[in-house]
């Protein structure tokens, strides 16, 4: 029996043949209109959904998919998947934890280097015929604080510690004794003890506005902030105010509250580097992501444990 997968993502199309070659029938619906149309037309046949955190899958949509048994989320975050609704219906949810960690960690370091060393500004100045030599901070030997020491956070820490001799501190839901880094239960305390603060934690209610005015104040006017996690973790108005008033030195952002719309207040600032949510986008990451989805689907439909299950609340 062929299994039918509703594909809501738009970034891994080149690698979807990995699923098709294994017998999965795919229905592509990457826009809100095509998503609604696909559910209305094919809902009675769909038994799996491929989505990502910001796209999610909602209670009413699950109700319209009576055969739905598994939701596979690419990437680590699953903030807009209704986990309670999935639990109530006995639907398994998996995520892509770790599949794109190397790509995201590379991008985090690229943002940090570009920001601290003012690479975009230097490039733009040369193109204008200017030759400005600024004295800018080095990254070597600095102190990095990471919010969220999952696969991505650990990959960033490894690059910073081994490549730039940085000392690493981290704030996590719980300590990771299997790592050599310094744990801080108090985020404000950690922010006050580092030069670079990296957001690498998933979104959702538990982390919403975790980085607000008080954390930014603790980071201070010599501190830099990088976000390759979720925009919701940072209080954006508080960040804009801190950047505008020089209360932090700068920010590198790959994620935004209302993508693809980016606040004009951020665009006009000279102490920010902005990229369009591409940290996890690389050929290697896309292939590994789809391969993990395939392995989760194959395990599930063979009656075996999935590789990367998301913990669900108790049914109500």
Residue 187 CA to residue 189 CA, distance in Å, equals 5
Average of per-residue pLDDT values in the chain: 96
Evaluate whether 49 touches 68 at the Cβ level (below 8 Å). Answer: yes
Residues 146 and 208 reside in one and the same domain: yes
Residue 228 CA to residue 275 CA, distance in Å, equals 10
What digits encode the pLDDT tens for the residues 116-130?
999 999 999 999 999
Banded pLDDT at 1 (limits 50, 70, 90)? low
* 309 within some domain: no
Q: What is the pTM of this model?
A: 0.90
Q: Is the per-residue pLDDT at 314 higher than 70?
A: yes
* 251 within some domain: yes
Q: How far is CA 80 from CA 53, 119, 127, in A?
A: 6, 35, 42
What digits encode the pLDDT tens for the residues 37-57?
999 999 999 999 999 988 999
Residues 119 and 88 reside in one and the same domain: no
* 311 within some domain: no
Residues 27 and 125 reside in one and the same domain: no
pLDDT of the residue at 77: 84
Torsion-angle region of 177 (φ positive above 0: left; ψ -120 to 50: alpha; else: beta): alpha
Active site residue 277: yes
Residues 290 and 267 reside in one and the same domain: no
* 231 within some domain: yes
Residues 159 and 259 reside in one and the same domain: yes
What digits encode the pLDDT tens for the residues 75-117?
888 989 999 999 999 999 999 988 999 999 999 999 999 999 9
* CATH code for the domain of 84: 3.40.50.720
For 289, the domain range is 4-99+283-301
Residues 216 and 122 reside in one and the same domain: yes
Residue 296 CA to residue 72 CA, distance in Å, equals 8
Residues 159 and 224 reside in one and the same domain: yes
Residues 119 and 259 reside in one and the same domain: yes
pLDDT of the residue at 51: 97
14 burial class (0-12, 13-18, 19+ CB within 10 angstroms)?
exposed
Containing 214, the helix (H) or strand (E) segment is helix 213-219
Banded pLDDT at 202 (limits 50, 70, 90)? confident
* 19 within some domain: yes
Evaluate whether 263 touches 240 at the Cβ level (below 8 Å). Answer: yes
Active site residue 42: no
Count of structural domains within the chain = 2
Active site residue 230: yes
Average pLDDT value for residue range 156-161: 98
Banded pLDDT at 271 (limits 50, 70, 90)? very high
pLDDT of the residue at 93: 98
* Closest residue by Cα to residue 294 from 18, 10, 1: 18
* 211 within some domain: yes
What's the length of the chain? 316
Q: Is the per-residue pLDDT at 10 higher than 90?
A: no
* 313 within some domain: no
* 195 within some domain: yes
Q: Is the per-residue pLDDT at 209 higher than 80?
A: yes
Residues 70 and 118 reside in one and the same domain: no
Torsion-angle region of 246 (φ positive above 0: left; ψ -120 to 50: alpha; else: beta): left
232 burial class (0-12, 13-18, 19+ CB within 10 angstroms)?
buried
Residues 52 and 111 reside in one and the same domain: no
DSSP string, 155-201: HHHHHHHHHH--EEEEE-SS--TTSSSEE-S-HHHHHTT-SEEEE--
- Among candidate residues 25, 277, 284, 311, the one labeled active-site is 277
With a pLDDT cut of 90, the percent of the chain lying above it is 94
- Among candidate residues 10, 189, 259, 284, the one labeled active-site is 259
- Among candidate residues 230, 245, 261, 311, the one labeled active-site is 230
Question: Residue 206 has which token pair?
Answer: 């538990």
Residues 111 and 252 reside in one and the same domain: yes
With a pLDDT cut of 70, the percent of the chain lying above it is 100
């Amino acid at each position: 029996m062929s299994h039918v997968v509703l594909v809501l993502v738009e970034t891994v199309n080149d690698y979807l043949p990995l699923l098709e070659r294994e017998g999965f029938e795919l229905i592509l619906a990457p826009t809100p209109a095509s998503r609604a149309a696909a559910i209305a037309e094919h809902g009675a046949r769909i038994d799996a959904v491929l989505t990502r955190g910001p796209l999610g899958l909602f209670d009413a949509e699950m109700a319209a998919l009576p055969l739905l048994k598994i939701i596979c989320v690419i990437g680590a975050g699953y903030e807009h998947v209704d986990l309670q609704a999935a639990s109530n219906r006995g639907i398994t949810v998996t995520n892509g934890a770790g599949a794109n960690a190397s790509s995201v960690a590379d991008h985090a370091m690229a943002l940090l280097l570009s920001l601290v060393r003012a690479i975009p500004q230097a490039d733009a100045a040369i193109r204008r015929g200017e030759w400005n030599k600024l004295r800018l901070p080095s990254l070597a030997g600095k102190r990095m604080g990471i919010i969220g020491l999952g696969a991505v956070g650990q990959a960033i820490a490894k690059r910073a510690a081994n490549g730039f001799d940085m000392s690493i501190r981290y704030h996590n839901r719980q300590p990771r004794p299997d790592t050599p880094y310094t744990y801080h239960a108090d985020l404000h305390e950690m922010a006050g003890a580092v030069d670079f603060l990296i957001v690498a934690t998933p979104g959702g209610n538990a982390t919403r506005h975790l980085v607000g005015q008080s954390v930014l104040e603790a980071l201070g006017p010599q501190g830099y902030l990088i976000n390759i996690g979720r925009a919701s973790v940072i209080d954006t108005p508080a960040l804009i105010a801190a950047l505008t008033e020089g209360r932090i030195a700068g920010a590198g952002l790959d994620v935004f509250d209302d993508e693809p719309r980016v606040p004009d207040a951020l665009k006009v600032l000279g102490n920010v580097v902005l990229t369009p949510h591409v940290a996890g986008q690389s050929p290697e990451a896309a292939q590994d992501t789809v391969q993990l989805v395939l392995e989760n689907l194959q395990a599930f439909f063979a009656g075996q444990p999935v590789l990367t299950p998301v913990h669900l609340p108790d049914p109500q």
